Amino acid sequence: MAESLTKKQAQDLSKKLMRKPKLVWDALSKTEQGKAMKFAEGYKTFLDNAKTERRAVAEAEKLALAAGFTPVEEAGANDLVYKVWKNKCIILARLGNRPVADGLHIVASHIDSPRLDMKANPLYEDVDMAFFKTHYYGGIRKHQWFARPLALHGVAVNGKGESIDIRLGEDPNDPVFTVLDLLPHLARKLQAGKSLATAFEAERMNILLGSLPLGPEKTSDRFKLMAMNLLHEKYGLVEEDFLTAEIEAVPAGKAKDVGLDRSLIGAYGQDDRSCSYCAVQALMKLRKKPEFTGLAFLVDKEEIGSEGNTGAKSKFLETFIADLLELTGEGASARNIGSALMNSKALSGDVAPALDPDYQSVHEKNNAAKLGYGICMTKYTGSGGKSGASDAHAEHLGYVRKVFEDNKIVWQIGQLGKVDEGGGGTIAKFLAAHGMDVVDCGPPILGMHSPFEIGSKADMYMAFKAYAAFFEAG
């Protein structure tokens, strides 16, 4: 058989039968390439302004209001509605032609990212310097958070019950903060001789606040007093207010273009605010009223297992669907809510690990996503023998594949490294628990969970187009 084919015949047969990954830049016209670069500018601004889950919700709500969305409780005849829950998650909806009970098209993503949280009683002084004690949140690699500029974001509720917004380290005139690292000359026993997992201890991850004293030389805690007094002058805080506060340390600075060609973006929090921004933009910029109601669902707490009343395990999605059923006059019966969920199709918008040129051994190359090759569909995550995975059905994969192919979406398949190399999870399994079909689908990222993740502008633009195509699909 092989000998009976000419070279051209073999090439034609290969083109017909074999899949060849496509670089997004090769697939885009010059006009589309320009649109991709322009899309990235709005995305970078979102990343700069949305460094915590609270700020991400505020930015998404701002975008929604500018696009004509109204709170679902005040919607009236408006087809564009949204709802905020606890200032930490938000759902945006665009009502479709079909009844809500027939199912929705949902793109769900998370807006929390690994960070350092302040402890409930954080302020102390030692060796004539003031510090905050921290507790890391999510799957950080501790060594990446030492000796780098940090900013403080959060909210404190004072004794009067007033919420005070805290933001320090982002303005060009602001000071920044840092976690001290040990000089290499003295690190032989404490760090160099240990494994990476144990060399950097969580209890040493303390935020340096300053070194000026306040008061006479014999005043107790005068370095701590100086820090507290400055916070009181700026925000009206007293130390007891820390007991009722949520203050987070995140990398300071803006998202940046990376590379001579500016084709990449380096920034904190691209896992998973990239998918969140793309989903919101896709829903807002649909060309026509969709057949099925479209939802952009932005949730908190994914990095710690989707727990709590603002995570994907909460009842927020069901409550919002009940609101939609009331709005459309279908009635929010338990049966209608259940039908809407069971009949829905979803993309769990979460980033995929891109094949890292310097660490290729942890990937299985035939099933690894590559930067610049479009949005990545991940059938399952989990670890070991698919433990903790949702594992999407072939029929749903086929549906999404056809939507992408029909709309000229550049996409690829990928998974989370080699089998038994590690593992992880997303919110897909919590969506699937409602009965809906779901598959993970998001842009690939290098340096995931680091303070400076790398993403491709082409992949972000393709994720936006992919989510729009999914929302518009019948």
Query: HEC string of the chain?
Result: CHHHCCHHHHHHHHHHHCCCCCCHHHHCCHHHHHHHHHHHHHHHHHHHHCCCHHHHHHHHHHHHHHCCCEEHHHCCCCCEEEEEECCCEEEEEECCCCCHHHCEEEEEEECCCCEEEEEEEEEEEECCEEEEEEEEECCCCHHHHCCCCEEEEEEEECCCCCEEEEEECCCCCCCCEEECCCCHHHCHHHHHCCCHHHHCCHHHCCEEEECCCCCCCCCCCHHHHHHHHHHHHHHCCCHHHHHHEEEEEEECCCCEEECCCCCEEEECCHHHHHHHHHHHHHHHCCCCCCCCEEEEEEECCHHHCCCCCCCCCCCHHHHHHHHHHHHCCCCCCHHHHHHHHHCCEEEECCCEEECCCCCHHHCCHHHCECCCCCEEEECCCEECCCECCCCCCHHHHHHHHHHHHHCCCCEEECCCCCCCCCEECCCHHHHHCCCCEEEEEECEEECCCCCCEEEEHHHHHHHHHHHHHHHHCC
The CA distance from 230 to 245, in Å, is: 17
The C-alpha atoms of residue 429 and residue 363 are separated, in whole angstroms, by 23
Query: According to the model, what pLDDT value does residue 2 have?
Result: 54
Long-range contacts of 215-224 (CB under 8 A, 24+ apart): 221/125, 223/125, 223/128, 223/129, 223/130, 224/123, 224/124, 224/125, 224/130
pLDDT beneath 70, residues of the chain: 1-3
Maximum distance among all alpha carbons in the chain?
Answer: 96
Model pLDDT, residue 76: 82
Q: Which two tokens stand for residue 226?
A: 């100086």
User: Which residues neighbour 47 within 8 Å (Cβ) at sequence distance 6 or greater?
Assistant: 255, 265, 267, 268, 269, 270, 273, 277
pLDDT on residue 86: 98
Task: Name the segment(s) of the chain with CATH classification 2.30.250.10.
Answer: 115-251
CB 247 within 8 A of CB 153: yes
Residue-level pLDDT at 4: 85
Those residues whose C-beta lies under 8 Å from the C-beta of residue 126, and which sit 6 or more positions away, are: none
CATH topology for the 115-251 domain:
Aminopeptidase i, Domain 2 (2.30.250)
The pLDDT assigned to 296 comes to 98
What are the start and end residues of each CATH 3.40.630.10 domain in the chain? 20-113+268-472
Q: Domain 20-113+268-472 carries which CATH code?
A: 3.40.630.10
Phi-psi category of residue 374: left, alpha or beta, with phi > 0 → left and psi -120 to 50 → alpha = left
pLDDT of residue 35: 98
Residue 457 CB-density burial (10 A; 0-12 exposed, 13-18 middle, 19+ buried): buried
**Rg (the chain; Cα; Å):** 24
